[in-house]
Amino acid sequence: MKKYLVIILATALSTGCYSQTDKTISMDSSAKNNPAYSKTDSNRVNLTEQEWKKILSPEVYQVARQKGTERPWSSKYEDLREVGTYYCAACGNALFKSDTKFESGCGWPSFYEPISKSAIIYTPDNTYGMNRTEVQCGRCKSHLGHVFDDGPPPTGLRYCINGVVLDFEKAKEAEKKYNQEQKKG
């Protein structure tokens, strides 16, 4: 029995489908009390961990700053099919367009390409005895998830992202805001 449990655990870990927490994740990533949050500012964000802890919800902080992982299939974005843009919930940096999202079956929102080269930072991750590539937000260095080489064309990559560290804005809402800003300016 122990042998089968070890095999199941090793398989789950190697596919990136594992959880470090058993609690349900709240998806409220409101930026109301977060001075670092901006969908237009591209300057790097350098806050202390104490500052991050004050402005992020406990769920976002645990994943974004402590490199945690939400439970698989717990994200409201896992099955979302709306057209729009996914942003970093910690700082507002644009990360992925919805047309690069695909169903991977791993339990987390998956994308095959970031919105830009500077949107993501890649770092080696050898935790749990695995050789993986961690992806972090290019603006605030928050942990987002991992990238694997088993994705669909055209890139062959699968960015397996924790939904709790994502915000989403529908394309129609973004266009409406843009038009309102143009009228003001």
Q: Tell me if 96 sits within 8 A of 62, measured CB to CB.
A: no
Alpha-carbon span 84 to 82, nearest angstrom = 6
Q: Tell me if 71 sits within 8 A of 21, measured CB to CB.
A: yes
Residue 114's closest CA among 163, 64, 159, 79?
159
Q: Tell me if 37 sits within 8 A of 57, measured CB to CB.
A: no
Of the listed 91, 106, 137, 160, which one is catalytic?
160
- Whether 160 is a known active-site residue: answer yes
Print burial letters for 61-81: b (CB count within 10 Å at least 16), e (below 16): bbbbbebbbbbbebbebbebe
Task: Enumerate the active-site residues.
Answer: 160
